[in-house]
Copies of this chain bind each other. A is one copy, B any other.
Amino acid sequence: MVETNEDAALWSGRARLEARIFEFTVGDDPQLDERLATYDCIGSAAHARGLAKVGLLSKMDVLALLDALQRLHQQMQNGEWKIAASFEDGHTAIEMALTAQLGDTGKRIHLGRSRNDQALLMMRLYLRDKALSMHAQVAELADALLQLAQKNQEVELPGYTHQRKAMPSSAAMWATGFAEGLMEELHAFDGLYSRLEACPLGAAAGFGVPLPLDREYVARILGFAKVQRSPVDCMNSRGRMELACLRWFETINHTLEKLLCDIALFSTEEFGFIGLPENYTTGSSIMPQKRNPDVVELLRGKLRGQRGAAESVLSISSGLTSSYHRDFQLLKAPTLHAFDEQSQILDLLIDLVANLSFDKNRCAAACGAEIYAAQAAFDLVASGRTFRDAYKEIANQLSAGTLPAKRVSSASHIGGLGDLRLDDVALDVEEIRALWRSESARIDQQLKTIWSMD
């Protein structure tokens, strides 16, 4: 039998709970909660202020609590705070710390909230914070891709369809394509964010509490745009919020996977368009000649592995009736894992993209006459033929080997080789990034004021 902390076992006859079941129910909560505890402190501060606001906590008590919470928060940020397994989770650990320091005052903070209410708020704050950071990273990667495009404007590239050479393209066109794909994500983000900017505090166990809480006040001091009104929906949103974030990663990764697959292919000896920075490759234990694109492969693998985290989150929070179930505790691990992985993927990709080089000669050599066949057909159209007929004639010339050599592309429409609009794209990225950077700053500013009663 593990020694469980008598006081920690607040509300249950857990004394006789066998260590094994205790361990099972605790799981990896202490480690996960160590990473989430700063959010719990912030949420607790808001709750304390909310109680004081409606007279459920004395001025003295709230000041003592805010002070203690701020100091705890500082310790956590300094990495000086550990949760003993016997405390079961971070909520208990914080409450114990408050009670140890403040006695009865420490106990009073739990009035009018439930542990799952508290856990929900903590996760909401985490998701809002990390989603905003992720937005910044995606913007940075889009920017890196645009710079790559800028740097390599002179590099011709065959455009592939069905993985076969098709039409003239360029390194800039290729890189810009991914930047634009990411920009769609940067814009679609507001759908996700509209979910995250609602404050669940006050849902208690999922049915509110018989106390006159001022939910709008706590939402406001936490920087939320609105109250998530329905306590039932607050509970029902466990998993839904996490899933929405992970599905946003999914569409981001839908684009990034193509980028990585292209890089892996274009850097083979057979294609030879792209050179990988040497520190992004490793050797072989058995073949001295090999330079393997390990980092690209690991990025691709990690990105694909993200599907599992989303599947877990969806499965754990599905198949249930409404309201709270203990199953939800298990949402934390795959969610935090997915955020960590996603951030790491973006982080390394930003660097990788910044360090890619194109082999201009091999790229040019790959642009044979055949990729201009469609253009040759269009040229015939310009002299009055239908496209279908022009198509047939060029096909015949190709078979006969009489198709004239390559020509200057005149794709002058928006997005065409002659009009990539790199500046417009760069401006769009900068705008959307600035928008969310300012939202991020607003929240940081707001949360700095959480420790003092207004």
Contacts and interface: CB of A to CB of B under 8 A. Distances in A.
Given A205-B286, A205-B287, A257-B319, A297 B211 contact: no
Given A159-B205, A244-B251, A307-B314, 19 more contacts: A12-B283, A25-B294, A111-B386, A112-B387, A164-B269, A164-B293, A167-B206, A168-B207, A169-B207, A209-B378, A210-B378, A210-B412, A211-B411, A243-B251, A254-B317, A289-B370, A294-B326, A298-B329, A304-B318
A75 interface: no
A173 to B, nearest CB: 6
A155 to B, nearest CB: 14
A81 interface: no
B215 A292 contact: no
A220 interface: no
A258 B327 contact: no
A194 B326 CA distance: 36
A32 interface: no
B391 A288 contact: yes
Contacts of A293: 162-164, 326
Size bracket of the A interface: 35 or more
Interface stretch (A33-41, A133-141, A228-236, A446-454): A228-236
Contacts of A278: 13, 16
A11 B284 contact: yes
B329 A411 contact: no
B330 A305 contact: yes
A20 to B, nearest CB: 8
A244 B188 contact: yes
Interface in A315-352: 315-330, 334, 344, 348, 351
Contact of A114 (B239, B286, B379): B286
A252 B249 CA distance: 18
Nearest to A370: B289
A210 B264 CA distance: 29
Contacts of A214: 413
A35 to B, nearest CB: 16
A279 B230 contact: no
Interface in A416-432: 416-417, 420-421, 424-425
A11 B288 contact: yes
A438 interface: no
16 contacts: A12-B282, A24-B344, A177-B232, A184-B195, A184-B237, A205-B287, A210-B410, A212-B410, A236-B255, A236-B258, A240-B255, A247-B247, A247-B250, A254-B317, A262-B321, A270-B270
A59 interface: no
Given A210-B411, A255-B236, A268 B164 contact: yes
